[in-house]
A and B are shown apart, each in its own frame.
Chain A
Amino acid sequence: MIGLISALTVGLLLLIALVVFALRQESTARGIHSISEFPGDPRHSGEFEVCPPELVARIFSREDWELILQTQSPCLERLFLQERKRIALLWVRQTSRDIRQVMRNHTEAAKQAADIRFRTELSLFLMYIELLLMCETLLLLITTVGPPRLERIASYVHELSRQISYAHEAFARSSAGAATGIPTSP
């Protein structure tokens, strides 16, 4: 009897995990679809450009929200929150997707690297896990609390993603330098 309950529990958990995974895939696909609305789609140009920090601050800006509140127009308030939520969700999904790509590239580079520093790799991996968790948390908070209250957490996520990108770039540079025998600048 206990075995049956355990098996059912495991099965149920697996089912929930599958549903969550399917929903995540669907929402990611929706995010990609909405991105391709504009010509600046990097998938066409083959380039990726990091969002500047001032733009991230703008998406989650409290200053803009206060301006809207001064108008005392419920319609404007609704429009503002709707627009900013949409953009904030887009930014978080893009950041999460970009950083997954960076880590995939890093894994490939690490496989071919001659000397791997275990502690550096571990700290990079932990930062990556932290960033993914922060992105998931931010997605939840954007839909529940709204972007104007999340400026600090968003800038933290942005900083974390920049650190991971820089760490990977530094690693790739030093690996390339070691392979060619050319010393790389610090």
Chain B
Amino acid sequence: MSTRNSHETYAGFELVPVRDVYEDLLRRTLSKISSDLARLIFIASTRDYNTGTYHHEGLASRFSPEKASEALELAHTEIFKQLAAYSLEALVEEIEIYACASRESAATIVRTWQILEPYRVTVPLRLNPTIVHVFVSNIRLALAILRHRQNPEVVDPSAASRLQLPGQ
């Protein structure tokens, strides 16, 4: 029996559980991205910073904009939690894979991330604050480790993270 037939419809969209939409997102989109960190950055980029809702054209057209947003939020939270529990070594590898895929030099990415801390925009809206603090702190540490590996001569590999930008 097809599951498609078992679902009711509303406003032209099937009423499917968010889990099904989430599985679809994992299978069709997220599985094609090379690392968990890149997946997190991709999902965070689908979020509207003004409203906190998520948008994904393909997913919204297959299911509904609301279901797509819920599935993206679920995926965002899941992947964020996974990354927060990563060991520092694994997190360093994730940043290296991300840097390779981005075609920018790893050194440039590390320095820029230490100054701008762009990974802070990947924080989900509703999450235990301790998980968020662990993630941000671990990324900061992983960047310092990478900086040290790139240039062991640097006295303080975390120095850039303490630079204050105008307006901060």
Chain A residues with a Cβ under 8 A of chain B: 35-42, 45, 47-52, 54-55, 57-59, 61, 63-64, 67-68, 71, 73, 75-76, 79-80, 83-84, 86-87, 90-91, 94
Contacts and interface: CB of A to CB of B under 8 A. Distances in A.
A51 B156 contact: no
Given A47-B126, A52-B81, A55-B81, 8 more contacts: A38-B133, A39-B123, A40-B131, A55-B130, A58-B138, A67-B145, A76-B148, A91-B130
Contact of B137 (A45, A61, A71, A86): A86
A83 B129 contact: no
Contact of B87 (A49, A59, A61): A61
B138 to A, nearest CB: 8
Interface of B: 81, 84-89, 123-134, 136-138, 140-141, 144-145, 148-149, 152, 155-158
Contacts of B136: 38
Contacts of A42: 126, 128-129
| B contact face: mostly helix, strand, loop, or mixed | helix
Contacts of B85: 52, 54-55, 57-58
Contact of A40 (B132, B138, B144): B132
A36 B84 CA distance: 18
Contacts of B126: 40, 42, 45, 47
Contacts of B88: 64, 67-68
21 contacts: A36-B129, A38-B123, A38-B133, A40-B128, A42-B128, A42-B129, A45-B125, A49-B128, A54-B85, A55-B81, A58-B134, A59-B134, A64-B88, A75-B144, A75-B155, A75-B157, A75-B158, A76-B148, A79-B140, A79-B141, A83-B137
Contacts, number: 107
B128 A67 contact: no
Contacts of A50: 128
B134 A40 contact: no
B125 A40 contact: yes
A40 B148 contact: no
A63 B87 contact: yes
B133 to A, nearest CB: 5
B130 A87 contact: yes
Nearest to B158: A79
Contacts of B141: 64, 68, 76, 79-80, 83
Contacts of A76: 141, 144-145, 148, 157-158
Given A64-B87, A73-B157, A87 B123 contact: no
B87 A40 contact: no
Contacts of B149: 71
B145 A40 contact: no
Counting from the closest, the 3 A-B pairs by CB-CB distance are A40-B127, A49-B128, A54-B85
B120 to A, nearest CB: 8
